[in-house]
Amino acid sequence: MSAVMQTFPERRRGTAALIDELRKERHEVWAMYCRIAELKPFSAGKKVQTRLSEFSQLLVDYVSLWHFGIYERLLSGNEKRQALLSVANELYPELSRTTDAAIVFNDKYEHAKNYLTPSSLEQDLSVLGEHLAIRMTLEDKLCNMLLN
């Protein structure tokens, strides 16, 4: 084992565990997204409302894990790899935009029974899907750098 790994093994394990959790939540978000998309044509029925509420909560948990877990770990002052910090700072605005899109979706659909408009749901899901795809690409870039 290298001297670096002996010095920071617990921190590295913690980072790897956070990344594993992020990837697990991301998979769950995407799976739920697909289950909702399968309900087309959308209606204001109970099944759609229930799935949207569940999805909204999962979506918020997922984006929060990045900001309050992984990104916070990067900014804690313990990360010494300047190239990683530079890339993280460069990508943060775009990650924030994807977070904003998720929050907007959540705010609109968390309590779907009150606001569900089937005609706008398909468009809103499409926009969110585009943001999630961008987010996943950016996360992978940073996570791969964190693990190396």
Top-confidence residue, 24 or 10: 24
Report pLDDT digits (tens) over 105-118.
999 888 766 667 88
Q: Give residue 5's pLDDT.
A: 46
Residue pointed to by tokens 């749901």: 121
Among residues 31, 21, 52, the alpha carbon closest in space to that of 139 is found at 21
Of 13-17, 29-33, 100-104, the poorest mean pLDDT is in: 13-17
CATH C-level class of 15-147: mainly alpha
The two tokens of residue 113 are 């029974």
Question: What is the gyration radius of the CA atoms in the chain, in angstroms?
Answer: 18
Q: What does pTM read for this prediction?
A: 0.86
Q: Spell out the domain ranges in the chain.
A: 15-147
Q: Give residue 144's pLDDT.
A: 93
Q: Give residue 72's pLDDT.
A: 86
